[in-house]
C-alpha cells in the first residue's frame, strides 16, 4: 500500500524528482539546535502550502508534543514559510503535501538522549508513520528527504552536532528508515520507477543578491537553504551563518 523513496541532491532537485514520481506526500526530516534548554516541536511548511500540509504538520506536532511532553512552537505547531524564509525553499517546489520536521532539539541533553536511543527513534518513526497513514490512508509513494545530507554542492554537511555524539542528519536518516519500514510493512507497496537523473525543469541554485537602483551590484552563490541569513537593520550588516 505504501512505498517510500529517499530523494537526494540539491533540495530543488529532490522536490522535482518527487513531483516526477507523483509522490502522494513528501517529508524532509531535520532536528533543531540552539541552547541546552531549548524545548519545543515545530513543523515548517512552505509559504505556498496547502491546507492539507498545514493540518498534517499540526497533527504531527501535536503527536510529538503528546509523546515526548514538549510544547509546540510556531503557531499551533507549524511555521509557514520557515524561519525568515529558511526552510521554504526545501518545500516550495513540491506539487504534493509536504512538511519539514524539527521535532526535538539535539542541543538539549535530555532530548538528544531520546534522539540517540533506539526507543526514542522508534517513537519518532511511529509518530511520523502514523501521521502519514492518518492523512494519506489510500497509500502511494511517500517521498523522504534527509535534511542536510546528500547535497551535491555540500556533500559533507550533516547539520548540527548532537549532544553526546553524532550528527543531526545521521539520526534523522535513522528515524526515516524506521518510518519507511513501518509504512512498507503496513501494506504491500507498489513499485515505482526511478526518476531520471536530469529533469527538464530548471534547477534552483540558492543565492543572495544586492540590487541598487534596479541594477545587480553583488551576487553571492556560496549559500544554500540550510544557511541562516539575518539582516542587522541598525548596523546595516548582512550575516550569513552556515549550519
pLDDT in tens, 74-125: 999 999 999 989 999 999 999 999 999 999 999 999 999 999 999 999 999 9
Confidence grade of residue 240 (pLDDT, cut at 50, 70, 90): confident
* CATH at residue 10: 3.40.630
Mean pLDDT of 63-72: 98
**Hey, how many other C-beta atoms are within 10 angstroms of the C-beta on 24?**
19
- Number of domains the chain contains: 2
Residue 195 lies in a domain: no
Mean pLDDT of 207-214: 60
Are 178 and 224 within one domain? no
> What gap in Å lies between CA 130 and CA 139, rounded to an integer?
12
Are 180 and 237 within one domain? no
Indicate whether 2 pLDDT > 70: yes
Residue 9 lies in a domain: yes
- For the segment 132-183, what is each residue's pLDDT rounded down to a tens digit? 999 999 999 999 999 999 999 999 999 999 999 999 999 999 999 999 999 9
Residue 201 lies in a domain: no
Are 165 and 220 within one domain? no
> What gap in Å lies between CA 32 and CA 241, rounded to an integer?
15
Say how many residues make up the chain. Answer: 243
Indicate whether 191 pLDDT > 70: no
Residue 199 lies in a domain: no
Are 38 and 81 within one domain? yes
Half-sphere exposure of 53 (CA within 13 A, CB side): 27
Structural domain that includes position 218:
208-241
Task: Output the pTM of the full model.
Answer: 0.81
Amino acid at each position: 500500500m505504501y512505498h517510500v523513496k529517499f530523494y537526494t541532491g540539491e533540495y530543488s532537485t529532490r522536490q522535482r524528482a518527487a513531483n516526477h514520481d507523483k509522490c502522494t506526500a513528501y517529508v524532509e526530516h531535520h532536528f533543531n539546535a540552539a541552547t541546552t534548554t531549548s524545548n519545543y516541536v515545530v513543523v515548517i511548511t512552505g509559504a505556498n502550502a496547502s491546507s492539507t500540509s498545514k493540518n498534517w504538520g499540526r497533527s504531527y506536532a501535536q503527536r510529538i508534543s503528546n509523546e515526548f511532553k514538549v510544547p509546540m512552537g510556531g503557531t499551533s505547531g507549524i511555521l509557514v514559510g520557515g524561519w525568515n524564509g529558511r526552510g521554504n525553499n526545501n518545500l516550495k517546489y513540491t506539487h504534493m503535501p509536504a512538511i519539514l520536521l524539527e521535532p526535538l532539539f539535539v542541543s538539549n541533553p535530555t532530548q538528544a538522549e531520546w534522539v540517540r536511543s533506539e526507543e526514542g527513534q522508534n517513537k519518532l518513526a511511529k509518530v511520523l508513520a502514523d501521521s502519514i497513514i492518518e492523512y494519506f490512508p489510500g497509500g502511494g509513494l511517500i517521498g523522504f528527504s534527509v535534511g542536510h545530507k546528500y547535497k551535491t554542492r555540500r556533500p559533507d554537511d550533516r547539520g548540527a552536532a548532537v549532544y553526546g555524539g553524532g550528527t543531526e542528519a545521521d539520526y534523522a536518516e535513522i528515524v526515516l528508515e524506521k518510518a519507511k519500514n513501518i509504512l512498507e510493512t503496513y501494506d504491500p507497496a507498489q513499485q515505482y520507477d526511478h526518476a531520471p537523473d536530469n529533469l527538464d525543469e530548471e534547477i534552483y541554485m540558492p543565492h543572495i543578491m544586492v540590487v541598487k537602483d534596479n541594477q545587480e551590484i553583488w551576487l553571492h552563490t556560496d549559500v544554500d537553504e540550510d544557511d541562516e541569513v539575518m539582516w542587522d537593520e541598525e548596523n546595516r550588516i548582512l550575516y550569513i551563518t552556515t549550519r
